[in-house]
Structure 1
Amino acid sequence: MPASLFMSNIFTVSSFALEGESQIEQVRLAVPTTDDPTLPALTCRVWILGITGCIILSFITMLTTFRQNPVNIPEFSIIMLCYSLGKLMAAVLPAKVVRVPGTKIVFSLNPGPFSLKEHILCCMIANNGLGASPAIDILAATKAYFRRSIHPVAVFLLLLTTSNISCGFIGFFMKFFVNRSEMWWPEILPMVTMYRAFHEKEERSKATLPRNKFFFLVFVISFSYYTIPGYFFPSVSALSFVCWFWKRSITAQQIGSGYNGLGIGSFGLDWSTVSGFTGSPLMFPFFVIVNTMVGFILFMYIVVPFAYWSNSFKAKTFPIVSTEVYDNYGGRYNMSRVLDESNFQFKQEGYENYSKLYLSITRACSIGFGLASLGASLTDIVLSHGR
């Protein structure tokens, strides 16, 4: 789910409960049916923590987007960091009233204890930095491969429009995706429970650690462990016994490699390898995990091998797993032969004299299934809710 929609779905789930008991048992157990209108909400702490967090997360997201195994920053970490920083600001900031010069806007630097509503709003703003716009690939390719710059206004409009496509779809199909109580988001409920755990009264024995100390302990351990696969031994992100036993076999490398093959018999000690593409497996219901695994097995272990070893679209000329673009000789595609670098125009004659553009079979199938999933979503809406 896009990061920009993350917190909005918390309010969506909550709205079901406030209107009445939800039909979903998990929602009834996690989401309270009460509200305290006296709690402070849109305070200066929200703006400071939310905007700062969004900027930092945007930087980290862009920095790690181009990794082969993307780094997944869980929302739980953001929730805990915002809570800790919010409590710190509530403890150290003076309760001073500030007026914005030239306006009638007045606010307090410290309106009191850090509230649940402030916490949710902080995370709502900060989480917008988690999702990278799909247009980043266009900008990166234009800059890295074609050595060309795009006007900042055009870049801004491109990022703005592509980033809001998902919000536009949600607006079109709000009746089906948002307003229906059956359309609940399982990954949101643990976060709702976590918010409640932080702000409701904690009952613990003296022998147990407070939540903040436990978080920082886990944070230090996690950060220390990540330095092993992240910096010192990156190879532990994908270990393959098949590749170890048959080092000189190209077929074995294609089957067993976790980086450039099907990954059969390989495993990883890097948590980002496990959660980088599907999210945390602890947050999703069993039927979702099974559905994902069935789709993965059909795609990666049936469709791709059959298409590759049957040499569909000259697949055996190219690596089985790759994001590169190739010519019909199996080499990297020479863009300078089909693009006029002086005006960035396509050269039809050069293209006809050179080669068609080829992708690896995994990349081609991935793009095809991705486009098909959009049509499948619309078809499901028409067939299931077309009345």
Structure 2
Amino acid sequence: MILSIGDEENDSPIEQVRLTVSPTDDPTLPALTFRTWVLGLLSFHIVTSVKAFYRRDLHAIAAYLLSLTTQMLGYGWAGLFRKYLVDSPYMWWPSNLVQVSLFRALHEKEKRPKGGHTRLQFFFMIFVASFANYVVPSYLFPSISYISFICWIWKDSITAQQIGGGMQGLGLGSIGLDWSAIAGFLGTPLATPGFAIINIFVGFVLIVYIANPILYWSNAYDAKKFPIFSSHTFDYTEQPYNLSKILNTKTFEFDRVAYDSYSKLYLSAFFALDYGLSFATLNCYYYTCCPLSWKVSLFLTSSILLSCKSSF
């Protein structure tokens, strides 16, 4: 980080950050505004998740304390590692730069250059163009979001729908005119670095086009009874799994007897693969990081203690 002694401006060593984020700050601007408190108190994401997945209502006070506790834990850990996670100029998130650019365009006053446009004018131009582009595939003609020639030719074949379907299939031979469909696997390529896009794409191909079809068409764990792509849970009748039959609504505990009498929990091939790889990633991280942590602790203890003391 470069520090200018004259005006105390901090300049980031990351080029993208330097071009997007202003090196100056106004400490007089209010942070705890009415809008901040209202939006913060209404953002009960965890409470919404509990209601959606477990169909269990929480008291307003309990919901508030739950949200407040999770928020404080997150900010607490961030404060403990502020030196490494917050103050370090190399800990940056490319997607946040998009929000910074938008806020600066909306709030900062800028003189229009001769023969050009201000950032706010450019934003409204893109906004209108994006709206005109999205309204066609989203509302007027949704079928052009995923155009599958395989499904058109073999419209009565389930296998063809699974291979060529753009929404519920592999999407082979399909084209899309909807930007949200094209960039759906990574959010937006405009804010994601090129090396990350390649990394995500390679993993996407390995999982979606190689591992998932092998599991599905080999009928592993009765995979063919369920959709090839689905994030839902199913019972033995191939219907959505009824959680209320295996959970005690009063104590919110798992009822093993009810589970044995009802049905096993079935997942689609893709959903099971997703869960399995998530646990495998955690195990690989554990077995890789533990020996490394011991080595770091043995040989770099003094450096770690010195860094920790300087961070508090």
Distance in 1 separating the partners of 2:80 and 2:284: 16
Deviation, 1:290, is 0.6
SS in 2 for 1:370: helix
> Which gives a bigger RCO, structure 1 or 2 (Cα 8 Å, sep 6+)?
1
| Superposition RMSD in Å | 3.9
Q: Deviations over 1:294-319 (max 9, x none)?
A: 11112212221222222222222211
Deviation, 1:234, is 3.2
Aligned residue pairs total 289
Whether the aligned pair in 1 keeps the contact of 2:17 and 2:97 (CA below 8 Å) is yes
SS in 1 for 2:52: helix
Deviation, 1:281, is 0.6
The 3 A distance-change label for structure 1 pair 194 and 367 is same
2:309 aligned residue: none
Distance in 2 separating the partners of 1:245 and 1:163: 52
2:62 aligned residue: 154
Q: Deviations over 1:251-293 (max 9, x none)?
A: 2222222222223233433333345552321122211111111
Whether the aligned pair in 2 keeps the contact of 1:17 and 1:32 (CA below 8 Å) is no
Distance in 1 separating the partners of 2:94 and 2:252: 47
Q: Deviations over 1:129-187 (max 9, x none)?
A: 6xx835533211333xxxx5332233333434455665455456555544544433333
Percent identical among aligned pairs is: 41
The 3 A distance-change label for structure 1 pair 249 and 135 is farther
SS in 2 for 1:333: coil
SS in 2 for 1:140: helix
Deviation, 1:356, is 1.0
2:234 aligned residue: 326
Does residue 129 of structure 2 align to residue 204 of structure 1?
Answer: no
Deviation, 1:354, is 2.9
Among 259, 266, 275, the residue aligned to 1:351: 259
Does residue 33 of structure 2 align to residue 47 of structure 1?
Answer: yes
Give TM-score, length-normalised by structure 1.
0.60
Among 85, 95, 104, the residue aligned to 1:187: 95
Q: Which runs of 5+ in 1 are unaligned?
A: 1-15, 60-128
The 3 A distance-change label for structure 1 pair 339 and 29 is closer
Instruction: Write the letter of the residue equivalent to 2:225.
Output: T
Instruction: Write the letter of the residue equivalent to 1:139.
Output: K
Give TM-score, length-normalised by structure 2.
0.72
- Equivalent runs, 1:1-387 vs 2, <5 Å: 16-18=1-3, 22-27=12-17, 35=24, 40-42=28-30, 47=33, 54=39, 133=45, 136-143=48-55, 148-162=56-70, 167=75, 170-171=78-79, 174=82, 176-189=84-97, 199=108, 202=111, 204-205=113-114, 207-275=115-183, 278-335=186-243, 337-339=245-247, 346-374=254-282, 383=292, 386=296, 387=300
Instruction: Write the letter of the residue equivalent to 1:204.
Output: P
Q: Which runs of 5+ in 2 are unaligned?
A: 5-9, 301-312
Q: Deviations over 1:4-57 (max 9, x none)?
A: xxxxxxxxxxxx344876554544555565x366x74227xx8256567x47xx
